[in-house]
Amino acid sequence: MSDEAVKEEDRQLVERAQAGDISAFEALVDAHRDKVYGLALRMTRSEADAAEISQDTFLSAYQHLREFRGDAAFSSWVHRIAANNALMRLRHRKVVQAAEGELQGPEFTERGSLTEYPARDWSRDAEGRILDAELGHAIQQAADHLPEGYREVFLLKDVDGLSYEQIAEVTGDSIPAIKSRLHRARLALRDAIDRFYNQGDASG
């Protein structure tokens, strides 16, 4: 079946589902479930997460089906929902991992000595965290001022760690365009980092 035929079939199923035909929506789920699951799996690298994301995606699509106007293909719409759900899952995972890392302090033997010496100088932790927080704030401010397309690519690649292929699936843009925007975003952020350290040198 050609792409146009698939889109037309989807359009008819959407119209029926919007009119209350549950079987039509089930047909849409059957048609797109595998691709949605595949996208979620590639983004999260977790079968359990991908399964939950797939369920959440089609639940959200059903709840907002009457808002779907057909400006884009149903497949693109449902893929965008899945990508957003996957990104939220990835961000939550990073927050949890960061919190767990903060909770893991040094371990001691029964005699009270360290089981292994820390790889970093703990005495510099407080000073380093203040500097990291200030630098992070400077980078965040610079990111907030990036044009939306540049900021989106920067967050997807450098914050969420997605591949160019995954970002292309989420945004619908070409990989060369994504690389170009990411390069410009990184240049802007590098300028912000340079200004941060130059200010530190000037005040020191």
Q: Mind listing the pLDDT tens digit for each residue in 33-78?
A: 998 998 888 888 889 999 999 999 999 999 999 999 887 789 888 9
Q: Which of 66, 88, 110 is the last residue of a domain?
A: 88
Same-domain check for residues 7 and 79: yes
- Residue at 118 is within a domain: no
Summarize pLDDT for 158-187 with one digit per residue, the tens.
766 778 887 887 777 899 999 999 888 888
3-state secondary structure of 147: coil
Q: Which of 62, 88, 114 is the last residue of a domain?
A: 88
Tell me the pLDDT of the chain averaged across its residues.
78
Distance, CA of 83 to CA of 88 (rounded, Å): 9
Distance, CA of 62 to CA of 43 (rounded, Å): 23
CATH number where 135 lies: 1.10.10.10
Q: How many domains does the chain have?
A: 2
Distance, CA of 50 to CA of 56 (rounded, Å): 10
Residue position matching structure tokens 């106007």? 69
pLDDT at 111 over 90: no
- Residue at 102 is within a domain: no
Residue position matching structure tokens 């690649």? 157
- Residue at 195 is within a domain: yes
- Residue at 117 is within a domain: no
Q: Which of 88, 114, 134 is the last residue of a domain?
A: 88
Same-domain check for residues 81 and 135: no
- Residue at 99 is within a domain: no
Q: What percent of the chain has pLDDT over 70?
A: 76
Same-domain check for residues 136 and 191: yes
Same-domain check for residues 18 and 83: yes
Distance, CA of 30 to CA of 22 (rounded, Å): 12
Same-domain check for residues 131 and 202: yes
Structure tokens given for 2: 């050609």
pLDDT at 190 over 70: yes
3-state secondary structure of 112: coil
The amino acid sitting at 93 is R
- Residue at 105 is within a domain: no
CATH number where 68 lies: 1.10.1740.10
Query: Does residue 86 contact residue 53 with C-beta atoms inside 8 Å?
Result: yes
The boundaries of the domain holding residue 171 are: 125-204
Eight-state DSSP code of residue 156:
I
- Residue at 136 is within a domain: yes
Distance, CA of 18 to CA of 64 (rounded, Å): 10
Q: What is the DSSP string of 15-57?
A: HHHHTT-HHHHHHHHHHHHHHHHHHHHHHH--HHHHHHHHHHH
- Residue at 111 is within a domain: no
The strand pairing partners of 108, in sequence order, are 114
